[in-house]
Amino acid sequence: MSGEAKSTWIRGLAWPVLGVLATSIGASVLYLILCPPFVCEYPIENRASIEAQTIRASVELYLAQHPGDPRCPDIFDLVDEHMLNGTTNTEDPWGRPFAIDCGGEDPIVSSAGPDGVLGGADDILSSSQTELTD
C-alpha cells in the first residue's frame, strides 16, 4: 500500500472511530448523571440510610428554625419549608414514607425496611449516631 493510499484509508477510518469514541463517552456521562456511583453502587439498605440521614438533617434544621413549635415536622412540612428539594426521596427504596420521631434527644428518621414493618430487625434508623458502612 502506498503512503497516499494508507493516509486516505486512515482518514476514512478516523471519523467512524471518533464517532464510536464520542458515543461511548456520551453514554458514560449519561450513566453517571442518571445513576451516580454514590447511589447506584450502594446496596439498597445503604441508599435508604443515606436518604434517611438527609431527611434527619432537614428535621434538625426545621427544629432549629422553629424553636417554639412543639410538634415534630413531617415530610410535608419539610417540603413546604423548602428544606427538602425535589431530588430528595421522601419514600424509602421500598416505596413507603420515612417515619420521623422527635421524642428523644435527637430526631430519628426510620424506614421499615424490606419487610415494611416498623420495629423489625431490618429497619433502617438514622440518628446523630448513625454511621454508614460499605
Using pLDDT thresholds of 50, 70 and 90, give the confidence band for residue 99.
very high
Enter the pTM of the model: 0.63
Does residue 120 surpass a pLDDT of 70?
Answer: yes
Residue with cell string 420515612? 98
Residue in 56, 58, 45, 43 with CA at minimum distance from that of residue 120: 45
Instruction: Take residue 112 and report the three cell numbers written for it.
Output: 421499615
Q: Which pLDDT value is given to residue 84?
A: 84
Residue 22, Cβ density class (10 Å: 0-12 exposed, 13-18 middle, ≥19 buried): exposed
User: Which pLDDT band, with edges at 50, 70 and 90, does 126 fall under?
Assistant: confident
**Residue 124 · residue 52 · CB < 8 Å:** yes
